[in-house]
Amino acid sequence: MIMRGFVRSRLRNAGRRAGDGILFWFHFPLVLLVGLTVYGVVGYRILGGWRLLDALYMTVITLATVGFHEVHPLGPKRQVFCLVVWHVSSITYP
């Protein structure tokens, strides 16, 4: 009886390596950060028609919560988008 359970558990875990769980928790935050950056850049480009560098700069200072200087004046739509990007990033960062 014990041997059957052991064999089943070995078969279930046969395709996994020992460090897969660690790799998942390393890659997951990185994927979230890249995804948020792409979301921010695309959003600023669509809402404001900004150049790629301006959109990337605004996304990075928003994600880093630096708030150094807005590239262009923010209208109400861009302000709401900026708040959404900041809020999602504050939830996803541990």
| Ordered mean pLDDT values, 10 residues apiece, the chain (94 residues) | 53 58 75 90 91 92 80 86 86 68
| All domains in the chain, ordered by first residue | 22-92 (1.10.287.70)
How far apart CA 27 and CA 25 sit, in angstroms, is 6
One DSSP character per residue, 48-93 reads H---HHHHHHHHHHHHTT-----SS---HHHHHHHHHHHHHHHHH-
0.85 exceeded by pTM: no
Amino acid at 32: L
What angle is formed at CA 28 by the lines to CA 22 and CA 34, rounded to 5 degrees? Answer: 145
CB 54 within 8 A of CB 44: yes
